Amino acid sequence: MQDTPKAASSNTGAQAKRIAVRGVSKVFGANGEAAIGLARQGMSKNDILAKTGAVVAVNDISFSVDAGEIFVVMGLSGSGKSTLVRCLNRLQEPSAGTIEIDGEDIVAAPEERLRALRLEKITMVFQHFALLPHRTVAENVEYGLKMRGLGKAERNAKALKALDSVGLGGWADRYPANLSGGMQQRVGLARALALDPEILLMDEPFSALDPLIRRDMQGELLELQRRYRTTIIFITHDLNEALTLGDHVAVMKDGRFAQVGRPADIVLQPADDYVAAFTRDIDRGRVLPVRSAIRQVASAEALRVLLADGAATIEGARPLHEVFGLVAANRPVVVVDAAGQPEGMVTAADITNVLAGGSQSEGV
């Protein structure tokens, strides 16, 4: 693992996307081409199944992810989100479309190159921990490094460092059966981090955990991502989890994206009734854009908040709900632009006014 952000490959340019997905579809069953054609004409998933016998699990999905971003795909069971994430490393073969990693289309990659990408660049963490019960915790974390061909001493050092990063440094010689569910999930995360991945795919990794452990794991993941700036695609069926973790969130329904946007966009400007139904009971205070509740100030305070497209994060890393914790404690939060110039500040009165439906504060 590295303590500095990972840059995209040098041949992609400064503005290149770490991941670029274009027109990806996945069909199960015969008559795949016919099913894709009907889907592109707007026929529903159920009607396509009745007409062709094929299931369109992913339907013409396109999106991109910047380096160091957490992109969350949220949807109900059967929406296609897990199939989509498995297409991204070709555990499921896409039926159509391209998937570019740093400009390289992995759909066209031969098997040997795909294997190298999985070992060197793209790592996956599953919902079920998939630990080897007859191997110690350290040996489980070392497994991918062993497949990569590292010597025993080097892989053991990397495994111990990864275990330390998830708070399990003292459990290296234990076996998975001695660990709780939350600890086993930490081992799965450490196994992925030991490979120092540039891209981390996470398929509902916390859904089997109880709520308190789940919240702790979300916090740990945000802290790890802040430190290492790994690009993460995170799959969940929980909108609260999506809003907590995501820089951008995609809401998926019947194999397609109903809406993609920042957490504030999803909650405050739902694209349709389906998205609105998901967000109806969400606390707006978690995602309210700071731009709608700030006042002009002459100079910046010590605490600075990075403002990006209307949604704020503290120092570019912490989730927005922490801003509201600060203002609730009567600590004004100064907002700055990407260049570090002050634009205004948020106070508890501003937040209360906006949440109550009052007029926006003057200023930017």
Tens of pLDDT along 99-141? 999 999 999 999 999 988 988 889 888 877 678 899 999 999 9
Fold of 1-66+78-121+241-282: Rossmann fold (3.40.50)
Nearest 5 degrees, angle CA 5-CA 264-CA 202?
45
Give the Cα separation of 288 and 211 in Å (integer). 24
Give the Cα separation of 3 and 159 in Å (integer). 16
What is the percentage of the chain residues whose pLDDT exceeds 70?
73
Q: What is the pLDDT of residues 179-232, one digit of tens each?
A: 888 888 889 888 888 888 899 999 988 887 778 778 888 888 888 788 888 899
Give the Cα separation of 123 and 200 in Å (integer). 5
Looking up tokens 């801003």 gives 323
Q: Lowest-confidence range among 90-94, 247-251, 255-259, 359-363?
A: 359-363
pLDDT of residue 296: 45
pLDDT band, residue 356 (cuts 50/70/90): low
SS (H, E, C) 67-114: CCCEEEEEECCCCCHHHHHHHCCCCCCCCEEEEEECCEEHHHCCHHHH
pLDDT of residue 49: 92
Whole-number average pLDDT of the chain = 78
Give the Cα separation of 89 and 101 in Å (integer). 10
Identity of the residue numbered 211: P
Domain map (residue ranges) of the chain: 1-66+78-121+241-282, 285-355
Same topology between domain 1-66+78-121+241-282 and domain 285-355:
no
What is the β-pairing status of strands 96-101 and 304-308?
Answer: unpaired
pLDDT of residue 60: 94
Give the Cα separation of 331 and 327 in Å (integer). 5
285-355 under CATH 3.40.390, yes or no? no
- End-to-end Cα distance, the chain: 40
Q: What is the pLDDT of residues 250-296, one digit of tens each?
A: 999 999 999 999 887 888 788 999 999 888 877 665 555 444 444 44
How distant is the alpha carbon of residue 45 from its chain centre? Answer: 26
State both tokens at 153. 């001493």
pLDDT of residue 294: 47
pLDDT band, residue 312 (cuts 50/70/90): very low
State both tokens at 76. 């109900």
Check pLDDT > 60 for residue 29.
Answer: yes
Give the Cα separation of 215 and 221 in Å (integer). 10
Q: What is the pLDDT of residues 30-52, one digit of tens each?
A: 888 899 999 988 898 899 999 99
Radius of gyration from C-alpha coordinates of the chain = 22
Cβ atoms of residues 364 and 292 within 8 Å:
no
Query: Which sign does the torsion angle of CA 166, 168, 172, 174 carry?
Result: negative
Q: What is the DSSP string of 112-155?
A: HHHHHHHHHTEEEE-SS----TTS-HHHHHHHHHHHHT--HHHH
pLDDT of residue 6: 38
Q: What residues form DSSP beta bridges with 306?
A: 313, 336
